[in-house]
Amino acid sequence: MKSNLYSNIENGIATVTLNRPERRNALSIDLTLELLECLHRLEVNRAVQVIILASEGSVFCSGHDLNEMLQEHPSDYKRIFCACTHLMTKIQSIPQPVIAEVQGLATAAGCQLVASCDLAIASEKASFATPGVRIGLFCSTPMVALTRAIGRKRAMEMLLTGEPIDAYQASEWGLVNRVVPAQNLRSATRTLAERIAEASPVVVGIGKNAFYKQIELDQTHAYAFASQTMSANAQEPEAQEGIRAFLEKRPARWPHHAQPQL
């Protein structure tokens, strides 16, 4: 039986690939749960510093599997959407940065998946949409991540019209970090991951956790929280080693830097 996804780890970078191209990589409940379990395993693997989320085929992810949306019991719908919500929050709660490598269409929950990732690199062939309104199922859960990524007015336009935006507009709006030629997508994503992996994974984890906690706070509380975080961070062996290495003009030797897994 073909797996819904596969993963590999190389030099501290895990690549997780959605593998349902025949179903446009739709997030069936099985794929959602499998991806959740995969992220859980990677979260506790000290050899993993960065995660790339990619997919097979021409479509990055077409959202929920609509075959699971017909004449189901209310408890089944709740299970589907709760699992999806758990997946999106898991992406942002694990210490490793997650980079979406978007080669094609990302629609509905697929667009939500991109918006939930910490970073995203898109092929010039990629496009993004939240077209649920067109089939009578408003993209309410994708709305949460989308609004936080691109703002109210832009998100509302996508949600109300269902019209797709291309990769360059997605970059201009802040949904993706940059757009590259299709043939350069894998190398560009890998280059970004390698750059992140040069830093201490402990410090990166501290920073990612702090980013999501402060982002919804008002400025006064955000500064108070960030000051506490930075004070605690300064006491870590990584900070002491990094500062000492900078002053001594030498590369840092991170105390908790995992050995690459080949």
HSE at residue 10, side-chain half, CA atoms within 13 A, is 8
Q: Is residue 113 within 8 Å of 100, Cβ to Cβ? A: yes
Does residue 260 lie in a domain region?
A: no
Phi and psi, residue 12, nearest 5°: 85, 0
Same domain for 157 and 241? no
Per-residue pLDDT, averaged over 167-178, amounts to: 98
Q: Report pLDDT digits (tens) over 181-209.
A: 999 999 999 999 999 999 999 999 999 99
Same domain for 213 and 118? no
Domain span at residue 153 reads 5-197
Same domain for 205 and 175? no
Same domain for 142 and 42? yes
Q: Report pLDDT digits (tens) over 121-143.
A: 999 999 999 999 999 999 999 99
Phi and psi, residue 126, nearest 5°: -75, 155
pLDDT band at 71 (very low <50, low <70, confident <90, very high): confident
pLDDT band at 260 (very low <50, low <70, confident <90, very high): very low
Cα 204 from Cα 200, distance rounded (Å): 6
Per-residue pLDDT, averaged over 155-161, amounts to: 98
Q: Is residue 122 within 8 Å of 102, Cβ to Cβ? A: yes
Q: Is residue 178 within 8 Å of 171, Cβ to Cβ? A: yes
Per-residue pLDDT, averaged over 26-42, amounts to: 97
Same domain for 175 and 237? no
Same domain for 242 and 154? no
As for how many domains the chain has, the answer is: 2
